[in-house]
């Protein structure tokens, strides 16, 4: 059938015909009504009970007892919720990476207009592909010894140069730099910006670690390295479960601190690194000591050393005073006199015993002579008398020899006692003690001088890091006079504002007349 030519008079709103009345059968849905209609359509199209297989992700146990999670496969994700009454019946705790079959019903949550699966039962079907790959890589690296503590390098006590490998725009780098500046301002920080999320993240971080190791000597020697990023989901942290990155950390000659995610997140990078930190802030605290604590420790140790030396000196003086109060040391000749008196007593006793023996012998001789005279054996008497005279002479010589030997022994002992007198030893020890006191005083003076020079050098380095040195090189700082806030851009300066410009030798006050002036900050 041929189409009629266009007639403007018959058109709606044309001059020939009045406009038709509005249709009264049009139905306008409200948001709640259309959402409820969609909900009814979904519930009518699907059976009341469905079984859906997939991998768990983003599992969260709420304080109310409800469990919220995502069920996903290679193509899609499905939001799920399990109410507290059903979650209490689970014989295990649902966690990310589990491959499960979820039984429940599909419906629409009207307040957000989002459909989700209301789970009533979860049955484990095995481990998901992502989790399985993670476990297999963990087992492989563990067998090769990459996780063993004997390979862990100790962190330096006082690092001078610190490399930070992370994203330049995340909150983690701000936390690390702020903590290092607050705790350890004398250290030098090198920031290596890298990609920490996505397919290229693992290779970017591994290349940065290798580059830092290669350039360490050129930079003066990097002492420690911080590698990490802020928190995120398991997919966001997947780059730090890469084998290439793990081997780069293990091969690093510089100690590596891993600071990936939050405290509950554990990655392969954490297991391979020399030290694992719960957060980026904790990594900065582990890498450096607190400067104030170091100075306090130096002061405390110096005080303890001085107190210990004073105590040892006082103890030595007390021992010397106690030794000098002993009688044998205070009067060394007292022992000699006592020994001489004992020898004299022994000599007198020996002389008395000898005289007694001679007297008894003479009495016996007289008795025998009387007996012989009675018997008148003249020859025998003469022989016996000769023998007695010989014995008398021998006895006298023997007594004289014994007395002489005793005298010589007594004199020798007296000589040895005089030679062993402690006076000379006391003088020698007093001189040695004086020398020790002089050397101790010199060592304390030199030690305190070295520590003072070290503190002065640290103070000079701290002063060199201050902004005053920058001002002396020709720079200046401009602040608002009222608030004291530092001006970074022209847009921050209001018209008519009063400014304070600080230079190396003082301050200059000015007022803004035209902030569009090109040479305002020249």
Q: What pLDDT shows up at residue 52? A: 93
Domain ranges of the chain: 31-127, 133-289, 333-420, 471-511
Alpha-carbon gap, residue 116 to 109, rounded angstroms: 7
pLDDT at res. 279: 86
Query: DSSP string spanning 290-322?
Result: -HHHHHHHHHHHHHHHHHHHHHHHHHHHHHHHH
Q: What is the pTM of this model?
A: 0.41
- Average pLDDT (379-405) is 80
133-289: what CATH class? alpha beta
Of 307, 241, 291, 234, nearest to 270 by C-alpha is 241
Q: In this structure, what token pair is assigned to residue 254?
A: 């510089």
pLDDT of 80 reads 95
Question: Given this model, what pLDDT does residue 128 score?
Answer: 57
Q: Which residue has the higher pLDDT, 368 or 131?
A: 368
Average pLDDT, the chain: 82
Q: Which CATH code fits 31-127?
A: 2.40.50.140
Q: Which residues pair with 233 in a beta bridge?
A: none
Angle at 248 between CA 242 and CA 252, to 5 degrees: 150
pLDDT tens sequence across 13-55: 444 455 555 555 678 888 888 888 888 888 888 898 999 999 9
- Whether the domain at 31-127 and the domain at 133-289 fall into the same CATH topology: no
Residue 407 has pLDDT above 50, yes or no: yes
Query: Strand, coil or helix: what is 367?
Result: helix
- Tens digits of residue pLDDT in 211-255: 999 998 888 889 999 998 887 777 778 788 888 889 999 989 999
Name the strands in the sheet holding 188-193, side by side, starting at the edge strand that comes first in the sequence: 188-193, 161-166, 224-229, 256-260, 275-276
Q: Which residue has the tokens 């079959």?
A: 101
pLDDT tens sequence across 311-349: 888 888 888 777 777 666 666 777 777 788 888 888 888
pLDDT at 416: 79
Cα–Cα distances in angstroms (integers) from residue 322 to residues 29, 62, 131, 325, 426, in the given order: 109, 77, 78, 5, 12
In terms of pLDDT, which residue wins out, 473 or 308?
Answer: 308
């Amino acid at each position: 059938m041929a189409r009629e030519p266009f007639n403007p008079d018959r058109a709606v709103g044309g001059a020939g015909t009045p406009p038709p009345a509005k249709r009264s059968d049009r139905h306008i849905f409200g948001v709640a009504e259309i959402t409820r209609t969609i909900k009814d359509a979904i519930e009518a199209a699907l059976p009341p009970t469905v079984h859906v297989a997939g991998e768990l992700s983003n599992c969260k146990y709420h304080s109310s007892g409800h469990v919220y999670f995502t069920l996903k496969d290679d193509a899609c994700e499905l939001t799920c919720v399990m109410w507290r009454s059903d979650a209490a019946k689970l014989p295990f705790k649902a966690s990310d990476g589990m491959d499960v079959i979820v039984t429940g019903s599909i419906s629409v949550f009207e307040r957000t207009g989002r459909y989700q699966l209301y789970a009533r039962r979860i049955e484990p079907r095995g481990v998901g592909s992502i989790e399985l790959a993670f476990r297999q890589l963990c087992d492989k690296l563990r067998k090769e010894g990459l996780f063993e503590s004997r390979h862990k390098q100790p962190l330096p006590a006082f690092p001078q140069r610190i490399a930070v490998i992370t994203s330049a725009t995340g909150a983690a780098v701000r936390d690390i730099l702020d903590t290092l500046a607050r705790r350890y301002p004398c250290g030098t920080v090198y920031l290596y910006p890298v990609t920490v999320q996505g397919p290229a993240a693992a290779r970017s971080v591994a290349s940065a670690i290798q580059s830092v190791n290669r350039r360490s000597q050129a930079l003066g020697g990097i002492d420690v390295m911080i590698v990490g990023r802020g928190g995120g989901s398991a997919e966001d942290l997947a780059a730090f479960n890469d084998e290439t990155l793990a081997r780069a950390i293990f091969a690093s000659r510089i100690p590596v601190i891993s600071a990936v995610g939050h405290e509950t997140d554990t990655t392969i990078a954490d297991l391979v690194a020399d030290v694992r930190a719960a957060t980026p802030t904790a990594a900065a605290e582990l890498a450096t000591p607190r400067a104030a604590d170091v100075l306090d420790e130096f002061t405390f140790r110096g005080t303890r050393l001085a107190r210990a030396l004073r105590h040892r000196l006082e103890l030595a003086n007390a021992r010397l005073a106690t030794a000098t109060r002993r009688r044998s040391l205070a009067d060394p000749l007292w022992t000699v006199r006592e020994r001489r008196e004992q020898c004299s007593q022994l000599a007198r006793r020996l002389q008395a015993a000898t005289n007694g023996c001679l007297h008894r012998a003479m009495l016996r001789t007289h008795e025998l002579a009387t007996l012989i005279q009675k018997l008148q054996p003249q020859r025998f008497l003469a022989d016996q008398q000769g023998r007695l005279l010989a014995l008398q002479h021998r006895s006298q010589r023997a007594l004289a020899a014994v007395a002489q030997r005793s005298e010589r022994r007594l004199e020798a002992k007296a000589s040895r006692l005089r030679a062993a007198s402690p006076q000379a030893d006391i003088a020698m020890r007093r001189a040695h003690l004086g020398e020790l006191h002089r050397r101790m005083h010199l060592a304390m003076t030199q030690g305190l001088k070295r520590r003072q020079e070290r503190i002065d050098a640290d103070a000079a380095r701290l002063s060199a890091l201050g902004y005053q040195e920058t001002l002396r090189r020709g720079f200046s700082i401009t602040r608002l006079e009222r608030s004291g806030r530092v001006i970074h851009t022209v847009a921050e300066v209001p018209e008519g504002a009063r400014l304070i410009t600080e230079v190396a030798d003082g301050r200059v006050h000015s007022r803004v007349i035209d902030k569009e002036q090109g040479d305002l900050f020249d």
